[in-house]
Structure formats: structure tokens, C-alpha cells
Amino acid sequence: MKKRAFAAISIAAFLIALPGVSSTAKSKEADDAKRQAKLFQKKLNKDDQILHGLDRLTFGPRPGDVASVKKMGLKKWIDLQLHPEQIKESAELETKLRPLESLRMSPMETVQHYPPPQLIRAIAMGRQPMPEDPMLRASVERLIGRYKAKKGTDAGATKNGAAADANEEMEPAKRLDEVLDSTELQTMRSGTPEKKRELLTSLPADKLEEVLIAMPRGQRQQLVSFASTEIRRKVLLMNAPQQVVAYDLLESKLLRAIESKRQLAEELDDFWFNHFNVYYDKGSDRFLIPAYERDAIRPNVLGKFRDMLEATAKSPAMLFYLDNFQSVRPDMDAKNKNRKVKRGLNENYGRELMELHTLGVNGGYTQKDVTEVARCFTGWTLLEPRRGGGFFYNDNMHDKGEKVVLGHVIAAGGGQDDAEKVLDILATHPSTAHFISKKLAQRFVSDNPPDSLVEKMAKTFLSSNGDIREVMKAMLASKEFWSEGAYRAKVKTPFEMVASSVRALDANVSDAFALANQVGNLGEPLYRKQEPTGYSNMNSDWVNSAALLSRMNFALNLAQNRVPGVKVDVSRFGNDPIEVAKTLMFRSASPQTRAAIQKALEDQKQKTPATVAGLVIGSPDFQRR
Amino acid sequence: MTSRRVFLKGSALAMFGVGSIPAWLSRSVYAADADKRRKKIMVAIFQRGAVDGLNMVVPFGEQRYYDLRPSIAIPKPDGSANSAVDLDGFFGLHRSLAPLKPLYDAQHLAIVDAVGSPDPTRSHFDAQDYMESGTPGRKATSDGWLNRALVKGTGTVSPVRAISLGSNLPRTLRGRNDAVAMNNLNDFQVRDAKSSATFESMYDSSLDTVLHGTGKETFSAVKIMQSVQKQSYTPANGAKYPNGRFGQSLLQIARLVKADVGLEVAFADIGGWDTHVNEVGAQPTLGQLANNLSDFGQALAAFYQDLGDLMADVTVVTMSEFGRTARENGNRGTDHGHANAMFVMGGDVRGGKVYGDWPGLGEGQLYENRDLQLTTDFRDVLGEVVAKHLGNANLSAVFPGYENPKFRGLIG
């Protein structure tokens, strides 16, 4: 859960000052605060600076990263990370992203390409027309050819056409035992997931399609948990085409975090997506999110805040998620007798825009301001929201009266501009500068960043007209960032934990869907934070029993090669725990962690490189960055 | 459905195979009282997103309710599936909560109306924060009321005395006393025993101030859960929990109650109440709110049925951060409002009654001319359960700054 009240430093937050604390506890808290403040003045040594830079600006170091940053020079490396467009992206990553087609489609195309199965059936039965697009048409025709209609396709035979539509099933043209030989059948029936995966991958494309179609739906769905990306997409296209979009998103999120050379940009994508959170499971957002992340968030993560604010305000995903697309001037339907359901003002977006996107909850706005902002945004709507239509300004929905937002008068008679003026006011407001700077510092420096740092960043925000790159530069030039107070002060989020373990192990990821599931198990199902807060940056939100156990189990599974789609080569590690820890963390483990592993290794059965690696990744040390 | 039950103290122990639990785990280890009285248990439920209290507990006796909500009001009780379930001639339950009616009739379910947090915020996040910390308007409180509500133990306290279902520990359970978050009882373990021991010693000896404490709590809890995991579980008395996350959360809590592992407080939440748009479907008794309430009501009813006589020791309280606007908005929904309704369920609850002073929905009666007024502070309700059910009389420590909660006579 979101929680903002942790004002005490992170350590104190867990030792907890009970209300009505004694004076000794209070002075202890003050002492802790003083000690912490001192640590933010203490500079890290050169080697630790490189590790710290990698800990904070990437999803964790990979083997070789420390050496290459050293060679390039820390300053130059940071400068390059601040200009991701100058970094050549990994060709291997681009190859892996290529099959994830939905990432590159417009919302309209997404709706058309991932039609629900009922539509395929309806086309087969002749009740829906063939798609006009020749490519789509060919694929639908091929799919239909693999089936034969069960019984009379004569729709006229049933009076209740709609009910028949929903229930009608088609039979595969060929049965499974007509497509596969007996050994292959045996493997599909009782083989291990690895064997099944191998078999499916070895089949020629045509035969594969026949096999998938011949399977009952349930059996086919089971392939999702272990099949390769390509085959998984085929299965989903048959079973639940809309789901392809979610799988593509998850797959790409993990692949980029693990393999992108533009690591800071990926960290910032995670930060800003959560800042401007939208929720996958809310209706049309299912097919609106790929375009949202690609067009509104990613191009702006180091750009002007005002641009990102506008891009999100106008994005179909946000207009849908926070309901603004159906907010209309209060008097619009009031007297319209033909409208049974009367529409009106909806405050949802107006409130979250100020509370979460710009000013912050204590940024100095009132309920009256919320209503006034909502009035300014009336008319910012969508064309055919359920069919992937885009932003559309509808003047007839707009409230033309005068509004007063945070003391600024927005004159009567305005149009689409009224909301633009609101965005101007909010994007340049000192509360926004402070709120955004503090949040960035909490993500990149410490849960409780020193005020001195936040002030420097906020000042830069205002003087640079909300230039995020400049704000990041101010942070990265500060002594607080490179201090002992910041070093390893953050607990990794589940996403960071999963990505950093794969990076540290230098694992080979052929598909990342199982990894994305693990991020969910650890408490952070990606794209599925229902509340507009997005996921938290604070340590205390990620440390609890359930999450810790999941982290340990994940560490063991990963190192022992039990996460589908990921291959770890542990042979290079040996089983000297001190060396393994150093290889995976790029620094020595704490004496306590080393002692515990060493003791475990007195038991010969535990003495395998995979076990040792799993223990290191599940250790308290590895949970920090 | 269940009829009114006779609660026989202690009889449950014989019923639920406590013999299979190791002797050192038996309740006597935890029971502070010499008479080996069972520990009382409080279950707190949070409806996140602000449930529409006026459609959940329907003031059908007030015409103004229908004037303010021309297209989403729940019709007056007429016995049909499209109308409210009559409680007392003025209030009714949403049709989806019909499974709770027998509990109300058995006087094990009480309702408090026009209740909530006095803080005026309409931010979900602040309001949840305040309701979980138990200190409205005060952001600096670092722990939660449910953690503070735990009675100071004199002897050994169970490592699983405070449990939350879900992968994150909620604000309300954070604090000085150990509290454990778990997704699923059966998964609550490190899969291989040897590595488990190594991790345990790592976290136990770690100097990491944040991870050390949680690690320690985790492994103490894992040991206890192992004994519970060994037994399979079938809900008693034919109770059927709904399949959703909330139903499964309550099932796990019931399982822990029966296993007698020293549970004192438990927390579960259920989301999806933020109904700005299309709160109702084709009928006011259908749609988003109706579906969610049906999940909610069925789960609570199943919990009650499953625990049977054990409900004598258990009190369940529900809450939501604020209510919703008295008027419907322009999208067949409602916006953020003020006061709401709470349910209190258990063997020692004086149920069968809607508590609280009804402020009315007329002109001049609404809070800020838009929302239901508050006439009961949520801490009055929680405080009474904490003091009279859990037996923690030190309410000024549980709800600092709220010295004199007004008990409504809910428990007794």
C-alpha cells in the first residue's frame, strides 16, 4: 500500500517511535537523524562510486560493467546514460523484441489484430465479413481452414442466432493422433516441460499449427507456462487473442531492463510509468497501454516535464483510466429529455492530476480547485474509446464558464485551451518542482533524501523550465548522491530484484515471461497496479515476510535453472562462497552472510555452485542497491 | 443458512482436531490467563477505494435518497430481486448482501451508519493512510492502529499473532509488534529445508536494520506454519467461500483460527470500490458494485458459517476510507464523499441493529452540501472492539490523540 507518512529516517521507521514516546526515544531519533545527516556529507571512495553509480542508474551491474565504466570514466559513462539516443542499442535485444508485434501497433490496429475467438468463429460461420487487410485475411482464412464446422452451419436453422453464436464450437479438421506419431504423442502426454518445449520448437510451422489446433483448449493453454515466445503467442492467438498484448508488454519490460544498453532510460521508464500510472485490467486500457508507454512515456523520460504531462493528459490510456473522456459540462444533459442517463462532471482526473502528477497532496490546492480543473478538462475526450480511437476535443461537452484555478482566472468562453492553461500553471508551480524532485531523489538516492538535495533539484526544475535531464544532472552532481548516506540505502523493488539477479548471473534469457511472473510473485505485478499512485519507491513497502520468502525461493529457482526461458551457467562460479559472492555482487559479502554460507557448505550435498549462487542472491546483502 | 447459534466456550477445541498440533504450540503457551481462556481474535477488513455506503446500506426510508440518485438508487424492499433487503423498516441491505441477512437476524451482525474519519480529505491515499494509522490528520504516525491494538503479552507471544493476507504488509499492521504478510498459507516456506536453515541464519545475524527484523519474524512464522500446512483443509458446515482473492483470504484466516496457533489480529482487503463510472448495470441491483458486494457478502457469510462456534472468540470489523457523494454524478457513478457504513460481526456483538445517528440527506444536512455527514468516528467502533473484545483497555495508546472514544454498546 501507498504510504506517505514515514517521515522518520528509514531505520527509525522500523524501530518505530510509538505515539507518546519517551524523551529518551525522541533524543535517540534525533541522534539517528544527525548521524544520517553526517553520512550524507561523507564522500564515497572511487571504487565504491563506480559500484554506486551502477547500482542506482542501472538494473544492477553485469559482469564486466565495473571494468568498462572504469575504463570509460564514471563521468563520461553517466553523461552517455543521460543521452540514451547516443548509445547504440543491443542488437540481440532488438532481435528478441521483433516478434512482439503488438508493441509497435496503434490502438486501432491492436483491436483488429487480436480479435476475440468469437469473431473468428463468426467469420467462419459467415456471420461476419472477412477482414479487408490482405495479411489479416490470409491468417484468418488459414485458421478457418484448420477447422471444420461441427454441425450444420445453417444459421437460419436456429431461431436464437445470438445464443447459438456464443455456444457454437468448431472441430479441428485433424485429430492430434493424425498429426503426431506415437513417440511424439507420448512426449506431449507425459514428457517434462523441457521435452515438450523441445518437441514443439522442432516442428515445422505448418505442423505446429495443426498440433495446436488439434489440442483441446485447456491443454493448449497449459503450454503458455513453458513454451517459447513464438509458440506462446500462437497459443494465445487461438485461446485469448487480447492476452497477447499483456504478454508482449511484460516480455518487453523484462527484456529491456535486463539487456538494454540504455539502462538509465529504462530505470526512468519504470519511474515515470508508475508516476503516471495506468491499469491494464481497466477496460480499454488493455489495448491502449502499448501506445501509452511507447508514445507518451518513453520519448519524454529525460525531456521536458510539461511535454510528458501533456502527452499523458491527452493519451487515450489516461483519459480512459481516470474517466475524463466522459466528463461533460454539468448542464449538458440536465435538460435533455431524450437522455435517460444524464452525464456530468467527473472529478477523478482533476484530483489525481494535482495530487499525484504535479503538486502533491500538500501542494496547496482545495476541493474547489479540483472541481475547477475538472471543468477546464471537460471536452477532452476520445473518439470511439472501445475501438481504439484517439484523443478528440469535443467543444459541445466543454464548460465555457469562467474558472479560477489556484488563483489564476481562466476567462469564460475558452475551449480546448482551458486545460492547456491548467497544465501550464501546474507544470511550472513550485510545489510541482519540489514534489517531482523529492520523488526522484527517493528513487535514486534514499527514502529520506536530505532537504538540501531536494532544494537544489527543485531549483533546477524551475530554472530549466522543467527539464528532467537537467534535474537528473543536478542530482548526479550533488555530494549527497555520492555520499555514504546514499550507498546501499535502497532496498530493491521486486522488478529490480529480478532483473538484477539475471544480470548478475549473466543468464541467457530466451523468453522473459516466466521472469515477469516472478516479479508479480514478489509483490509487484507489472502494469497491474490498480491505484493511480503506481508502485512505491520506498523500502518499507517491499520488506515483509511474504515478499522475503518469495525472494529466497526465486533466488534458488533461478540459480538452479528452474525458471523457464532462462539459462544460467553456474560452472564458472566454483564453490568458494567468498568468491561466488564477490562475482555476483562485485564486492565482498558481509561477514555474517559469508559465515552462514560457509557453515552450510560443511554439508557436502549443499556444496554445489548453483546452491551457493542461490544463497548469495537470496541473501540480505543482495536485496540492497 | 445458519440459524442463531449457541456458543459453547471450548467445545470447538474438541471439534477441530487440535490434537494434531504439537504440544508446545498449544494455546496454553500463549494464554496469559490462568484459566486458559482462549485468546480473542479481531479481524479487520478494508474495502479499498471507498465503497458507496449509501447503496450498500440503503436508507430507503428517506425519499431524498431517491431524489439525489434518480438512476442508481436501490429500490425500496418489495421482496423482489431488484430491491433492497429490509433490515428495520428504514435501512436495507443491497440485494447482493442478502447472505448477511441471516447473521443480522441471528444478532451476530451489527451495522454502524454515518461513520468514518473526521478528516476532510477526499484523497484515497491520505484517507486510507489515516484510517490505517488510526490518527486522522496526522501524517507523522509511523505505525498502524492494528499493530498497536495487540495486547502486551506477559509470556510468550506467538510469531503469528498478527497476520495480513497478501504480498504486502499493510500500513495498519506495521509497527513494533511482529506482523507477518502471507499470500497463501501453503506457500509460506522456503522450498528446500537446508537452504531455509542457511537463509535463517543469514537474516538472523544480519546487521541490516530493515531486513534483519523482518527476516527473523519470517522464519519464526515459517516454523509454525509448517505444522498447519501438514493438515488439509475443508471448510466446515458446508461453508462455500467465493473463488476471488478476498474469499480465499478469509478462508486462510479461518484456517489459522482453527489451527489455534496464537492468532490475535488478522487483516484482509478487497478493492474495486471506486465507482466513478457505471456503478450500476441494467438494474440498480446489478453491475460493478453489485458484483463486488456479492463477493464481499458471500465471503463474510462463509467465514461465519465455517467458524461456527468459534465465532464466539472472533470479531470482524469492516471499513472503507470514506463514503461517496450523496448525489449520483453524470456517469451513473458517484465521486469521493465523506461518511460511510461499517459492519461488525461476531459472537459477542450485539447485532440485529443499525447503530449511529442518522443525519439525513436533506438540504442543509449534507456535509459540504454533497456528502453524508459523519455522526460516529470510526475510532469509536474500532476502540470498542479493541477494548471490549480484544481486551486492550489502553486506548490512548492505540488511538493517540483520541482520548475518549464513545462506545455505542456494540459489544457485550
CA nearest to A594 within chain B: B202
Alpha-carbon distance A478 to A448, whole Å?
Answer: 15
Instruction: Enumerate the H helices of A323-380 as residue ranges.
Output: 348-352, 367-376
> What is the mean predicted confidence (pLDDT) over B96-117?
97
CA nearest to B203 within chain A: A620
Q: Which of A495, A518, A544 to mutate to test the interface with B (most CBs of B within 10 A)?
A: A544
pLDDT score of A26 more than 70: no
pLDDT score of A585 more than 50: yes
Q: List B411's β-bridge partners, or say none.
A: B349
Contacts of range A77-80, beta carbons closer than 8 Å, 24 or more positions apart: A77/A53, A78/A53, A78/A476
Q: Please state, in angstroms and as integers, the Cα–Cα distance from residue B393 to each residue in B177, B263, B383, B385, following that order.
A: 17, 19, 9, 10
| Contact in structure between B334 and B52 (CB atoms under 8 Å) | yes
CA nearest to A19 within chain B: B400
Q: Which residues of A touch B176 (CB under 8 A)?
A: 15-16, 18
Query: Closest approach of chain B CAs to the CA of A55, in angstroms?
Result: 18
Percent of chain A with pLDDT over 90: 62
State the pLDDT at residue B2: 36
Please, which residues 285-324 of chain B have a Cβ atom closer than 8 Å to chain A?
Answer: none
Radius of gyration of the CA atoms of chain A, in A: 28
Can you read off the three cell numbers belonging to residue A66?
565495473
State the pLDDT at residue A340: 61
Highest mean pLDDT among A178-187, B11-20, B347-356: B347-356
Alpha-carbon distance B273 to B279, whole Å?
Answer: 9
Inform me whether the C-beta atom of residue B171 falls under 8 Å from chain A C-beta atoms. yes
Measured between CB atoms, which of B189, B211, B329 is closest to A543?
B211
Alpha-carbon distance B233 to B230, whole Å?
Answer: 10
Inform me whether the C-beta atom of residue B67 falls under 8 Å from chain A C-beta atoms. no
Phi, psi angles (nearest 5°) of residue B115: -120, 155
Q: Which residues of B touch A535 (CB under 8 A)?
A: none
pLDDT score of A376 more than 90: yes
Can you read off the three cell numbers belonging to residue B351?
447485532
Tell the residue number behind the cell numbers 534458488, with chain if given: A556
Alpha-carbon distance B399 to B133, whole Å?
Answer: 9
Inform me whether the C-beta atom of residue B329 falls under 8 Å from chain A C-beta atoms. yes
| Contact in structure between B33 and B382 (CB atoms under 8 Å) | no
**A11–B209: do the CB atoms touch at under 8 Å?**
yes
pLDDT score of A424 more than 90: yes
pLDDT score of A472 more than 80: yes
State the pLDDT at residue A351: 93
CA nearest to B170 within chain A: A1
Q: Which residues of A touch B203 (CB under 8 A)?
A: 548, 620
> What is the mean predicted confidence (pLDDT) over A493-516?
96
Q: Which of A521, A549, A621 to mutate to test the interface with B (most CBs of B within 10 A)?
A: A549
State the pLDDT at residue A170: 65
**A345–B329: do the CB atoms touch at under 8 Å?**
yes
Alpha-carbon distance A355 to A377, whole Å?
Answer: 16
| Contact in structure between B120 and B46 (CB atoms under 8 Å) | no
Q: How many CB contacts within 8 angstroms connect chain A with chain B?
A: 227
State the pLDDT at residue A331: 87
The per-residue pLDDT of chain B, averaged, comes to 88
- The band of A117, judged by pLDDT with boundaries at 50, 70 and 90, is low
- What's the sign of the alpha-carbon dihedral A458, A461, A462, A463? positive
Percent of chain A with pLDDT over 70: 89
Q: How many residues does chain B have?
A: 412
State the pLDDT at residue A17: 37
Alpha-carbon distance B50 to B320, whole Å?
Answer: 5
pLDDT score of A75 more than 90: yes
**A328–B143: do the CB atoms touch at under 8 Å?**
no
- The band of A575, judged by pLDDT with boundaries at 50, 70 and 90, is confident
pLDDT score of A384 more than 90: no
> What is the mean predicted confidence (pLDDT) over A610-620?
94
Query: pTM, whole model, 2 decimals?
Result: 0.81
DSSP A128: S
Single out the residue of A513, A360, A350 nearest to residue A431, CA to CA.
A360
Q: Which of B208, B209, B336 to mutate to test the interface with A (most CBs of A within 10 A)?
A: B208
- The band of A148, judged by pLDDT with boundaries at 50, 70 and 90, is low
**Among A21-30, B39-48, B173-182, B354-363, which is the least confidently predicted range?**
A21-30
State the pLDDT at residue B3: 35
Alpha-carbon distance A374 to A383, whole Å?
Answer: 19
Alpha-carbon distance A60 to A622, whole Å?
Answer: 10
**B169–A544: do the CB atoms touch at under 8 Å?**
yes
State the pLDDT at residue A371: 95
| Contact in structure between A520 and A550 (CB atoms under 8 Å) | no
CA nearest to A603 within chain B: B194
Residue B107 neighbours by CB under 8 Å, 6+ apart = B4, B349, B350, B351, B352, B353
Inform me whether the C-beta atom of residue B129 falls under 8 Å from chain A C-beta atoms. yes
Inform me whether the C-beta atom of residue B203 falls under 8 Å from chain A C-beta atoms. yes
**Among A127-131, A534-538, B304-308, which is the least confidently predicted range?**
A127-131
The one-letter code for the residue type at B359 is: P
**B202–A491: do the CB atoms touch at under 8 Å?**
no
Single out the residue of A429, A430, A448, A428 nearest to residue A438, CA to CA.
A448
ipTM over 0.90: no
Q: Which of B138, B202, B211 to mutate to test the interface with A (most CBs of A within 10 A)?
A: B202
Q: Please state, in angstroms and as integers, the Cα–Cα distance from residue B23 to each residue in A19, B18, B19, B227, following that order.
A: 37, 9, 8, 11
Alpha-carbon distance A288 to A270, whole Å?
Answer: 17
pLDDT tens per residue, range A209-238? 889 888 887 888 888 888 888 888 888 887
**Among A341-350, A430-439, B16-25, B188-197, which is the least confidently predicted range?**
B16-25
Alpha-carbon distance A173 to A149, whole Å?
Answer: 9
Q: Please state, in angstroms and as integers, the Cα–Cα distance from residue A197 to each residue in A232, A367, B207, following that order.
A: 10, 57, 44
**B277–A606: do the CB atoms touch at under 8 Å?**
no
Residue A371 neighbours by CB under 8 Å, 6+ apart = A345, A347, A350
pLDDT tens per residue, range B190-219? 988 899 999 999 999 999 988 999 999 899
Can you read off the three cell numbers belonging to residue B143?
505505525
Tell the residue number behind the cell numbers 485551451, with chain if given: A417
State the pLDDT at residue B38: 64
Interior angle at CA B252, CA B247 and CA B258, nearest 5? 125
Alpha-carbon distance A602 to A393, whole Å?
Answer: 71
**B198–A597: do the CB atoms touch at under 8 Å?**
yes
**A592–B207: do the CB atoms touch at under 8 Å?**
yes
**Among A115-119, A268-272, A376-380, B297-301, which is the least confidently predicted range?**
A115-119
State the pLDDT at residue A119: 66
Q: Which residues of B touch A17 (CB under 8 A)?
A: 142
- The band of A413, judged by pLDDT with boundaries at 50, 70 and 90, is very high
Alpha-carbon distance B380 to B399, whole Å?
Answer: 10
pLDDT tens per residue, range A294-318? 999 999 999 999 999 999 999 999 9
Alpha-carbon distance A424 to A401, whole Å?
Answer: 19
- Within 10 A of B353 (CB to CB), how many other CB atoms are there? 19
- Residue A532, CB half-sphere, CA atoms under 13 Å: how many? 27
- DSSP E strand boundaries for A72-212: 147-149, 170-172
Q: Which residues of B touch A553 (CB under 8 A)?
A: 190-191
Percent of chain B with pLDDT over 70: 90
pLDDT score of B28 more than 60: no
Tell the residue number behind the cell numbers 484459566, with chain if given: B35
pLDDT tens per residue, range A328-357? 998 887 777 777 666 789 898 999 999 999
The per-residue pLDDT of chain A, averaged, comes to 88
pLDDT score of B123 more than 90: no
Inform me whether the C-beta atom of residue B73 falls under 8 Å from chain A C-beta atoms. no
**B202–A619: do the CB atoms touch at under 8 Å?**
yes
State the pLDDT at residue A218: 82
Q: Which residues of A touch B175 (CB under 8 A)?
A: 16, 18
Inform me whether the C-beta atom of residue B190 falls under 8 Å from chain A C-beta atoms. yes
State the pLDDT at residue A5: 41
| Contact in structure between A420 and A414 (CB atoms under 8 Å) | no
